[in-house]
Amino acid sequence: MEKTTRNTLSKRLAQYGALTVAIAGVADASGQIVYTDITPDYNGGINTDYALDLNNDGTIDFDIIQLQYSSSSSIIVNRLAIFPQDAANETLIDDPSAGNYGYPFALNSGGVISNGQVTWNNNGFSNGYQSLNWALSYYGSLIANDGNFVDVTDKYIGLRFNISGQTHYGWARLDVNANATSWVVKSYAYNSVAGEPINAGQTLSVNESTMNNIKIVALNKSIALYNLPENTDYRLYATSGQSVLNGTTINDTYVVEAGAVATGIYILELNDRATNTVIRKKIVL
């Protein structure tokens, strides 16, 4: 059973004020850009992985994995790689002549991701991967590295993936250190219109709305919503895709009480009834 309350600022704002407020991205009325802000950022290390589900439907589209192995007692190899999880899922690579050995581009914000690019590759798919960063250390000292995600901040992987037999375009934003041992996944987005392009870092559709201004803060099983348009529907999804909580807000400032749900990661979806604009944000409860 859902449980919601109106926000009484005297009881809640002292708690919420200590948090950094993340503003979710927007998809317009036709349902274009769907943006997910990972809060907190995923901080990866040696032999860790991040399962990237671009459309948050419970199906993993790509797996970003750090692999470390020794070629001798003194030589250590670290590799950060991305593995497509479907034959139709591919990354945008830098060198078409390299075939399966091409490296994914480290795109700058604004780079175009579309069917106009021809260097898409899934490295043969079955257990195939592309290296984001490959590094070689000798007695603990870095002696060589390669790839486009070497000592980078806020760079984007261009992605295309399959939803019900149709191709969609998206991106993921990463930081990666020089020796591929520390890396961060910060956010991701995709265009929900099949075949339509997206720019690296794009979080809003061309037709923006008042939903841009919504602020979302999650604390102690309470979800505070600020700057809401009238008649906003909300739905909380588990990472499996199951809806666990839903309702409709009645004020521009509102608190959803989610005390009955288990601790974990969820997707909050907000829908403005007047424009059918949708935003989604990944939150931790």
Here the tokens at position 121 are 């590759």
Q: Are residues 280 and 195 in the same domain?
A: no
Q: How far apart are CA 182 and CA 189, in angstroms?
A: 22
Q: How many domains does the chain have?
A: 2
Q: Are residues 70 and 163 in the same domain?
A: yes
Report yes or no: 53 and 34 within 8 Å, Cβ to Cβ: no
Q: How far apart are CA 91 and CA 157, in angstroms?
A: 7
Q: By residue range, what is the domain housing residue 277? A: 3-29+207-284
Q: Are residues 171 and 189 in the same domain?
A: yes
Question: At 136, is the secondary structure helix, strand, or coil?
Answer: strand
Report yes or no: 133 and 224 within 8 Å, Cβ to Cβ: no
The residue assigned the tokens 């037999």 is 165
Q: Are residues 54 and 195 in the same domain?
A: yes
Global pTM exceeds 0.85: no
Report yes or no: 87 and 273 within 8 Å, Cβ to Cβ: no
What are the pLDDT tens digits along the chain (285 aa)? 233 333 333 333 333 333 222 323 333 333 488 899 998 899 999 999 999 999 999 999 999 999 998 877 789 999 999 999 999 999 999 876 655 567 999 999 989 999 988 889 888 776 678 899 999 998 889 999 999 999 999 999 999 999 999 999 999 999 999 999 999 999 999 999 999 999 999 887 654 456 667 889 998 899 999 988 777 889 999 988 889 999 998 888 999 999 999 999 999 988 877 666 778 888 999
Question: Does 36 map to a domain?
Answer: no
Task: Give the C-alpha distances (Å, rounded to integers) separating 115 from 17, 35, 167, 224, 246.
Answer: 44, 20, 9, 39, 37
